[in-house]
Amino acid sequence: MPYAPAELEKPVTIHKLRQMKADGEKFTSVALYDAPTAGAAQRAGVETVLIGDSLGMAMLGYDSTVPVTMEEMIHHIGAVARGNRKSLIMGDLPFMTYATPEQALTNAARIMQAGAHMVKIEGGTWLAETVKMLSERGIPVCAHLGLTPQSVHKFGGYRIQGRSDEQAGQILDDAAVLDEAGADLLVLECVPSRLAKRITDTVSMPTIGIGAGSDTDGQVLVITDLLGLTEKPPKFSKNFLRETGDIHGALRQYAEEVKNGQFPTAEHSFN
């Protein structure tokens, strides 16, 4: 039966997302940065919203996520929290604000106090102690593996991760370690679809894909990609505004296509 997107009836929780994973029901996420767009996402039935440090490139004119500051993140998280009270709100910890567990705890508290329900951090096994500390202190964590934009200079550009057996094995190991450490969600960015499926089938936490195929538990797109505002859109994105003609319709169409399995297709994925 086709999914009919509607405004969320009650606030989305981590428990709700885990139940959706168990039931095989897809959920949607949008990276966005302001109150009115957050409200539109809520009315479209988008379960999670992410205030990502992607705001540096999408909104602030930076050439990467690296220059984004805690103050900028807190400003935008507060705006989204005031516009959306039902979607689960995730906030990124920006570059070099979680280099140690103690630093992560201090900055995660600021993100949560600004209105986020969960913090997102990029990295693998080295973050296990940090994830455990945050989780034990009541701070939910979304991990992020694959193409981690804060490491773009280390990668030498925005490159697909996990294509070699060695890389794939490392990402698999990282996912298992972070799951065990207590991470609640996992973003998989720009990894081969087969690897994303294997991780999704292995870990207990729900996975969110972006350029990771259709077998993850949820999907996320950046609002500027979803609305066709990005000058050179990535392969994994789709301009939903072109099809619908208005922002509210674009968000509803995105949610519907994710729920029905129409998005993403092989065209938006990597082998």
Q: Is residue 3 part of a domain?
A: no
Q: Which of 47, 72, 189, 257 is catalytic?
A: 189
* Lowest-pLDDT range of 112-126, 132-146, 225-239: 225-239
Q: Is residue 8 part of a domain?
A: no
Local confidence band at 138 (pLDDT 50, 70, 90 cut-offs): very high
Average pLDDT estimate for 113-138: 98
Size (the chain), residues = 271
Tokens (6 digits) for 233: 């859109």
Selected residue with higher pLDDT from 6 and 13: 13
Percent of the chain, pLDDT > 90?
Answer: 87
103: domain CATH number?
3.20.20.60
- Residue 254's nearest CA partner among 40, 89, 87 is 40
Q: Is residue 38 part of a domain?
A: yes
Q: Is residue 9 part of a domain?
A: no
Q: Is residue 254 part of a domain?
A: yes
Q: How far is CA 52 from CA 79, 96, 120, 239, 244, in A?
A: 13, 15, 8, 19, 25
Single-letter amino acid code for the residue at 69 = T
What is the number of structural domains in the chain? 1
Residue 121 gets the label, from left (phi > 0), alpha (psi -120 to 50) or beta, of beta
Cα atoms in the Cβ-side hemisphere of radius 13 Å centred on 20 = 20
**pTM (2 d.p.):** 0.95
* pLDDT greater than 60 at residue 1: no
243 included as an active-site residue: no
What value, to the nearest 5°, has the Cα angle with vertex 181 and ends 259 and 131? 85
Selected residue with higher pLDDT from 79 and 157: 79
Range of the domain at 53: 14-268
For 132, phi then psi, to 5°, come to: -65, -45
Q: Is residue 154 part of a domain?
A: yes
**Residue 226 near residue 181, CB atoms below 8 Å:** no
- pLDDT, tens digit, 9 for 90 and up, residues 13-63: 999 999 999 999 999 999 999 999 999 999 999 999 999 999 999 999 999
What is the rounded distance in angstroms from the CA atom of residue 118 to the CA atom of residue 89? 7
Q: Is residue 59 part of a domain?
A: yes
pLDDT for position 271: 81
Measured in whole angstroms, the distance separating CA 88 from the mean position of its chain's CA atoms is 11
What is the rounded distance in angstroms from the CA atom of residue 220 to the CA atom of residue 147? 14
What is the rounded distance in angstroms from the CA atom of residue 206 to the CA atom of residue 29? 12
Q: How far apart are the first and last CA of the chain?
A: 30
**Dihedral of the CA atoms 196, 201, 206, 211 (nearest 10)?**
10
Tokens (6 digits) for 21: 């994973």
- pLDDT, tens digit, 9 for 90 and up, residues 181-214: 999 999 999 999 999 999 999 999 999 999 999 9
What is the rounded distance in angstroms from the CA atom of residue 23 to the CA atom of residue 85? 25
Q: Can you list the positions of beta strands (E) in the chain?
A: 27-31, 48-51, 88-92, 118-122, 141-146, 185-189, 207-210, 218-222
- pLDDT, tens digit, 9 for 90 and up, residues 216-234: 999 999 999 999 999 989 9
Q: Is residue 117 part of a domain?
A: yes
